[in-house]
Amino acid sequence: MGSPLAIDWAAVLGVATLICTIIGGMLTLVYRLIVVNQGKTAALFDARVEAAVQAFEAALRARDELERERIDGYKQDVAALRKRQDLLERELRSMVKDLSRNYVPREDFLKRDTALELKLDRLGERLVNIVTREG
């Protein structure tokens, strides 16, 4: 141990070993914390994903139920419209069947009306002639 500037390599090696041991221990501790927390984190993540999936499935079921109710309403509306259509078709068939009895074509009406007016005019002329002869 001669010179004052001489490096004590044994002390440097001891300090380096101590620092490496401390760093290794810290890395091991950090690694173990990560591994333990990774499992917990994965479990929490899985639980949250499962909760989200269940909420989504519940929303889908609710939407499907509303859709079924809406479709059932449409089916009822269609059934009611079909009943109304059948009723109107029956009424229309009845009207068409009775049409020849209840309806007089325009031309026939005009012919009858003209003939009736002609007869009334002739009757009126006869009455005027009778009144003028007697009077």
Q: pLDDT (tens digit, 9 = 90+) per residue, 62-112?
A: 999 999 999 999 999 999 999 999 999 999 998 888 877 777 788 888 888
The structure tokens listed for 10 are 């044994």
* Position 130 in a domain: yes
Q: Which domain holds residue 133?
A: 105-135
Residue 125 lies in a domain: yes
Alpha carbon of 133 to those of 30, 83, 123, 125, 126: distances in Å? Answer: 144, 71, 15, 12, 11
Structure tokens at 130: 């009778």
In a domain, 17, yes or no: no
Which pLDDT belongs to residue 97?
Answer: 85
91: Cβ–Cβ under 8 A, 6 or more apart, which residues?
A: none
75 Cβ contact partners less than 8 Å away, ≥ 6 residues apart? none
Encode pLDDT of 26-76 as tens digits: 999 998 888 888 888 888 899 999 999 999 999 999 999 999 999 999 999
Per the domain annotation, does 122 fall within a domain? yes
Query: Residue 122 pLDDT more than 60?
Result: yes
Under the banding of pLDDT at 50, 70 and 90, the label for residue 4 is low
For the chain, the domain total comes to 1
Is the pLDDT reported for residue 113 higher than 60? yes
Question: Do the domain assignments include residue 60?
Answer: no
Domain annotation covers residue 80: no
Helix/strand/coil percentages in the chain, nearest 5: 90, 0, 10
